[in-house]
Structure formats: structure tokens, C-alpha cells
Structure 1
Amino acid sequence: MSLQVIILAAGKGSRLGRALPKPLTELNDGRSIMQQQRDNIYEAFGRDVSITAVVGFKSEYIVDRFPEFNFVYNEQYDQTNTSKSLLRGLKASSKGGVLWMNGDVVFDPIVLKRAASIIARDQSMVTVNTSSVSDEEVKYTVDAEGFIKELSKTVRKGALGEAVGINYISSRDKAAFIHNLGVVHKDDYFEGGLELSIANNGVLMEPMDISDLYAVEVDFAEDLERANLFV
């Protein structure tokens, strides 16, 4: 069974101030954010990988640009957050683990090559950057064994770094994660479902450090400028 990948691309991305969905934002190399994600996925895992985009805002533009993708629609994209978009994507997935990413992350192709060995072990993981800890980003802590303990924007003490927005849920952990994504509030990020899965179901999320590589989540114009320094 080939790897399944979900790209979350349903939101408006209003903070960037673009008319089209944020994943279609063009980079300096002529590709859109989603094109570089697709290219990175193919480079790491081959072209038989199954890619599903969860779409909502002006979805027809993404569907038109990426006819090779599968699509899941979140018609409540303007009323829900990433927890509910990912829930829809995971419910539509086949058996097995799933790699997913936010549709606005510009990242080094080596990130997924590094993740491949963890995915091969079918180990749930969160990609992290230990070189930066911003109040506005999703932060994390670990337990005594080194697995993720806390994962949210509200982590106040002992934060070790930021979550990058590229993650993998194993085949054995997927059912619990789907359940917890259904439990969290519609305004919650998917990290809320991961925290519940860790606390209530004993899910072990391994942090994968990519501090030596680039990964930029594009929320604002200055983020786009920074991302364009790398591509």
C-alpha cells in the first residue's frame, strides 16, 4: 500500500491578503506553495503516493491546478479550523498511516526524506524546529521518554521549540486520533486532537527535529519573503 498524504487547504488565509487560496501563492521560483509541496512529496516517496487535498475556499482553483489529487470538501471552511478539515480527510483515507501537512508550509525537500525512516517504522511523529519559540506558533514539550507531551499555542513553560505543521499518524493510532478530532471544538487546531490522543489514549508522538533545515509557515507577507529566500 502506497503512502497516503493529506494537504490541508480549505481556509481563506485572509492574513496574507490574497484573492486565491493561500496554497496557490506563487513563490520566487515560479511554483505555488502547493506545487513545491507536491514536488517534495514525489521526490521523497515517488509518484504513486496518494495525495488528498482538503479544500473549501475557492476550491475550484485548486481542483483545476491539481487534477492528479484526490479532494475532500469542507463546506464549513469559514466556520471550522484545521481539526475538522483533517477529520474529514482522515475519514476519507484508506487503511494505514497518513502523513499530513498544512497547505501553507514551504519546506526543504530533505524534511520528507528524513521523515521517511520514521514513517517506514509506522511511528506517529511531529516535525519540530528547536531553534525558534514564538508565542504565535504551536509549541511543544516532551515527557521523560522524549515523546511529545504538550502541543499547542498555549504552552507556557518548558517549550522546546515549535511544531512545523508536517506530521504523521500511524495505522495503530489513527482511530483514536479520528475520535479525538471529532471531540475537540470546531475552532481548535488539529493539535488539540493530538493532545487528547496523547493524554487519553497513550499515543506516542515522536518529535522529528528539522532545525538544520528550512520550513516556513506562510501566514503574513514577511513569512512569504522569508520563504522566498530558500526556494
Structure 2
Amino acid sequence: MSTQIVILAAGMGSRLGRSLPKPLTELSDGRTIMRQQFDNVRAAFGDSAKVTIVVGYKLEHIIEAFPEASYVYNEQYDQTNTSKSLLRALQASSAGGVLWMNGDVVFDPMALVRASKLVARDQSFVSVNTAKVSDEEVKYTTGPEGYIQELSKTVENGLGEAVGINYVARRDKAALVRQLQRVDDQDYFERGIELAIEQNGLRFEPVDISDLYAVEVDFAEDLERANLFV
């Protein structure tokens, strides 16, 4: 079975101040953020990987740029957050696990190569950076066995930050879908993961990619930093 990949790209991305959807922002090497993500997917999983993009804001521009992808529409893109975009994608997915990423992350191709080992053994995971812990980012803690325990922006004494590249195993997907249905419209998908860990006993392994680059592009200065790597 080919690997199922989801890119969450429904949001308006207003903080960056561009007219097009943020994933179509051009990098210094001439590729867009999303094209860099597609290239990384192919490098790690080959041409057989199935990519589904969750769209909303100005969706026609993304569809035109990536006609080879499949699409899921979040018609409430201006009223909901990533929890509901991921929910739609998981509900539309085939049997099997799903790897997903935020559509505004510029990252080292090796991040997916490293993640592919856990995908191969169908282990749910959250990619993390332990080199920094910023107040405004999604942070995490682990339990006694080393699996993710807390995962949110309000975590205290976090061990690091989630970078926006994650995987849910086949056996865990139904429980995550139920929790994503329960969370508030404005919640991030991490809230669904956290509830599934707490209430359903799901085990998400932290995958440390601190030695690799991964930049979430929210503001102009983030884009400048991302362009230092590509």
C-alpha cells in the first residue's frame, strides 16, 4: 500500500501578508513552499506516495499548481482551525495510517526520510525540535515510557517544540478522528492528539529532528530564515 500524505493548506495565512495562499509563497531557490514539500515527499517515499491537500482559501490557485494531488475541501476554512482540516482529511483517507504536515513548513528532506522508518512500522509520531522552546509554539512533554504526554501551546516545562510533521497509525486513526470531532472549531489538531493520548491511550512517539532545519513560515522574518536553508 502506498503511503498516504496530507498537506493542510486551507488557511488564509494573513500574517504573512501575501495575496496567494501561504503554501504558494516562493522561496529563494524558485520553488514554492509546497513544491519543496512535494519534493521532500518524493525523496522519502517515492512517486507512489499519495498526496492529498486540504484546501479552502483561494483553493483554485493550489489546484492549478498541483494537479497531480487529490483534494479535500474545508468549506469553513475561515471559521475553523487545523483540527477540522485534519478531520476532513482523515475521514476521506483510505485504510491505513496517514502522515500529515502543515502547509507552511519548510524543512530538511531528511526529516521525512527519518520519519519513514516509523511509517514503515506503523508507529504514530510527532516530529519535534528540542533545541528551542518558544512560548508561542506548540510544546510537548513525555511520560515515563518516552511517549508524548502533553502537546499544546500552554505546556509548561516543555521538552521541545512540535514542528508540524506527524503520523497516525492505522490502529490509532479512528480514535483520533473521534477526538477531532469533539474539539472546538478553533482548536489546533494537537488538541485532538492530546485527548486521544489521555482518553484512548494512544502512543505517539517523539521523533527528534533538532539537527535538521524546519521553519514554520508565519511572518516575513520566518521566510528570510527559511531561505537560508533551501
TM-score w.r.t. structure 1 length?
0.99
Alpha-carbon deviation of 1:213? 0.3
Query: Match for residue 2 of structure 2?
Result: 2
Per-residue CA distance 1:55-76 (angstroms, 9 max, x = gap): 0000000000000000000010
2:59 counterpart of 1:59: yes
Per-residue CA distance 1:108-160 (angstroms, 9 max, x = gap): 0000000111111100000000001001100000001100000000112x210
Alpha-carbon deviation of 1:96? 0.1
CA distance in 1, matches of 2:74, 2:61: 15
Per-residue CA distance 1:15-42 (angstroms, 9 max, x = gap): 0000000000000000000000000000
Alpha-carbon deviation of 1:223? 0.4
2:187 counterpart of 1:188: yes
Following TM superposition, the consecutive aligned residue runs of length 4 or more in structure 1 with deviations greater than 3 angstroms are none
Counterparts of 1:90-109 in structure 2 under 5 Å? 90-109=90-109
SS of the aligned residue for 2:47 comes to coil
Query: Match for residue 209 of structure 2?
Result: 210
The one-letter code of the counterpart of 1:189 is Y
SS of the aligned residue for 1:178 comes to helix
Query: Match for residue 177 of structure 1?
Result: 176
Query: Match for residue 86 of structure 2?
Result: 86
CA distance in 1, matches of 2:92, 2:50: 12
Equivalent pairs, count: 230
CA distance in 1, matches of 2:210, 2:113: 15
SS of the aligned residue for 2:218 comes to coil
TM-score w.r.t. structure 2 length?
1.00
Which sections of structure 2, spanning at least 5 residues, go unmatched? none
Alpha-carbon deviation of 1:98? 0.2
Which sections of structure 1, spanning at least 5 residues, go unmatched? none
2:114 counterpart of 1:114: yes
Query: Match for residue 44 of structure 1?
Result: 44
Query: Match for residue 221 of structure 1?
Result: 220
Counterparts of 1:137-156 in structure 2 under 5 Å? 137-156=137-156
SS of the aligned residue for 2:171 comes to coil
Query: Match for residue 133 of structure 2?
Result: 133
SS of the aligned residue for 1:106 comes to strand
CA distance in 2, matches of 1:159, 1:135: 10
Alpha-carbon deviation of 1:7? 0.1
CA distance in 2, matches of 1:48, 1:108: 21
CA distance in 2, matches of 1:75, 1:172: 28
Q: Tell me the percent identity.
A: 70
CA distance in 2, matches of 1:43, 1:124: 21
Alpha-carbon deviation of 1:162? 0.2
